[in-house]
Amino acid sequence: MSMLKKTVDQGLSQQESGNVENYMAFEDKLILHRNKLMGYMILLISLFAVPMLAIYENVTNGIIIIITAIVINGGFFYLLKSKIAFRQIPYMIVVLSSLLMIYLNTMDPSLISLVSFAVLLTLYPTYKPLLVYSIISILQLNYFILYPAASESPSFMWTDNVKLIMPLIVLFVLSYLSRQLIKNVFERTLESKQAQQNMEFMLEQMKSSIQEMGAFNRKLQKSVKVTGEITGELTIGFTEMTRGVESQAVSVSDISSALSEVNTAIQTVADNSSMMRELSNTTAESAGRGNEKITELSHSITDIRAMMEGMALAMEELHEQNHSIGTIVETIQSIAAETNLLALNAAIEAARAGEQGRGFAVVSAQVRKLAEHSHQSAEEIAGRLGSLRTKVEHLSSQMEQGKVMILTSESTVKHSEQVFRELSEIAVQVVKQAEEVEEKSIHVRNSSDVIVTEVDSISAVTEESSAASEQILASVEEQKMIVDEVVEGFERLEELIESLESLSRQAS
């Protein structure tokens, strides 16, 4: 009920905070309605007054009056239809009516016409337009008293201020009271609607609460029934437990002897765990040393590979030099052949010359011998260069094979290094696990000692439990009787809730 009251209070506070906004919206609608009413009244007045004024005036002024009336009415109805500046329309009417009164008072001064438009402004739910019109009318009256209009009707007098102010005051008071009355009626109507909404809300909340209470009662009744069944089962269970406790005392002694044997086995496991930790440490150290040796071998193979690459570059340079020398030897052979041909031609020319060319023939013969000797030497050099080229190519091939073997060895060493690194890491993990096994074995051994002690105490407690079980069995039987009474009470509560649900349905 407190939650329901709190919810209703929150709804009331929210509705009261929105009253001002609701009234302003209501006042806006009322002003729109009054604007339409004033529009039709102005149109009606224009239909009667404009033709009379047009007839009374000359043709030009009559046309101006008609056009002005059409423009004013057209603009006024446009504003009404588009709902633009609807709160300013009353003040526009005040200005237009004041201008119309000035025009009429120049021809026929009359207090009745001033008051008549003031009466029309009391239709609005606000007194401000009437106040503005009253001030303008009083100023207009005093202006015409000071500056009378040239007309046949008698002009205004100072005493006319009293005649004008008194009805204006009455109209102002009526307008103010009308506004308060409208506001009070709106507030009472709003309060009535709010009270009706709150009552409906409270009835809905009560209906919902009764339904929830009924659902909760049904669930609780099921739970109570289940509790009764469980209590019955507990009674049976405790009866069996009492028998079990008696047999448990016999089993505890057997457990005690078995735990003694287990304790001996746990001691053996702890000793073996210590030995395993020592062996794991030795394995980890050996793996670490093997990893270091493999790392050194990897560095050495890397150095050898660098040397082999340098030798391969040198062999390539030697092969290029050999090729260059072969080119030079071929050039020498070509020169020797040409020299031999020149010497032969010189000998032929010397033979033709006879006795005079004998000395030249001797020289050409020597040159020919030198050319032949140079050709033979060049052939020997070419042969030796060919043999050297063959050996260099064979050595280069062997260097390439050695380079491939070194790369293979380097890959194998790196793989071995990775394997040794993994072995080292595994050995470290094995050491950690061995230490954990040793710690857990010690912990298990200590726990086993505690368990043996506890089992001895359990043996004593078991005998006490046998007596306690009999007492609990008596208490459970008593509780079963109480639960049966609670079930009967919930059945009566369900009947009451059903009657409340029936009443709530009738109220809704």
Q: Which two structure tokens, joined as six digits, stand for 401?
A: 């094979």
pLDDT of residue 402 exceeding 80: no
Tell how far CA 332 is from the center of its chain. Answer: 89
Q: Examine the domain organization and report whether 279 and 164 are in the same domain.
A: no
In a domain, 69, yes or no: yes
What single DSSP character describes residue 83? T
Distances (CA, A) of 439 to 156, 167, 230, 273, 449: 122, 111, 46, 9, 15
Do 113 and 123 touch, CB atoms closer than 8 A?
Answer: no
- Portion of the chain with pLDDT greater than 90, in percent: 0
More confident: 12 or 172: 172
In a domain, 254, yes or no: no
Dihedral-angle region of residue 85 (phi above 0 means left; psi in -120 to 50 means alpha; beta otherwise): left
pLDDT of residue 336 exceeding 60: yes
Residue 449's pLDDT band (cuts 50, 70, 90)? confident
The residue from 134, 167, 185 where one domain ends is 185
From the number of C-beta atoms within 10 Å of its C-beta (0-12, 13-18, 19+), residue 291 rates as buried
CATH of the domain at 452: 1.10.287.950
- pLDDT at site 36: 79
In a domain, 247, yes or no: no
For residues 384 and 298, what is the distance between their CA atoms, to the nearest angstrom? 41
Question: Average pLDDT over the chain, rounded to whole?
Answer: 72
Overall number of domains in the chain: 2
- pLDDT at site 4: 38
The residue from 135, 157, 185 where one domain ends is 185
In a domain, 442, yes or no: yes
- Domain extent, residue 304, equals 274-461
Q: Which two structure tokens, joined as six digits, stand for 480?
A: 């079963």
Do 143 and 158 touch, CB atoms closer than 8 A?
Answer: no
Sign of the C-alpha dihedral, residues 421, 427, 432, 436?
Answer: positive
Mean pLDDT for the stretch of residues 456-463 = 68
Q: Which helix (H) or strand (E) holds 300?
A: helix 160-353
pLDDT of residue 294 exceeding 80: no
- Cα dihedral 91, 96, 99, 103 in deg (nearest 10): -150
Q: Examine the domain organization and report whether 141 and 279 are in the same domain.
A: no
In a domain, 36, yes or no: yes
The residue from 164, 185, 206 where one domain ends is 185
Residues 6+ apart with CB under 8 A from 197: 11, 15
CB burial of 88-126 (b: ≥16 within 10 Å; e: otherwise) equals: ebbebbbeebbebbeebbeeebebebbbebbebbbbbbb
In a domain, 175, yes or no: yes
Q: Examine the domain organization and report whether 299 and 404 are in the same domain.
A: yes
Q: Examine the domain organization and report whether 308 and 163 are in the same domain.
A: no
Q: Examine the domain organization and report whether 6 and 119 are in the same domain.
A: yes
In a domain, 334, yes or no: yes
At 206-233, the pLDDT tens digits run: 667 666 766 766 776 676 666 666 666 6
> Of the given ranges (4-13, 167-176, 244-253, 329-338), which has the lowest mean pLDDT?
4-13
Please enumerate, as own/partner, the contacts of 177-182 that have beta carbons within 8 Å and a separation of 24 or more.
Answer: 178/122, 178/125, 179/125, 179/126, 179/127, 182/30, 182/125
Residue 127's pLDDT band (cuts 50, 70, 90)? confident
- pLDDT at site 287: 64
Do 382 and 323 touch, CB atoms closer than 8 A?
Answer: no
pLDDT of residue 14 exceeding 60: no
In a domain, 258, yes or no: no
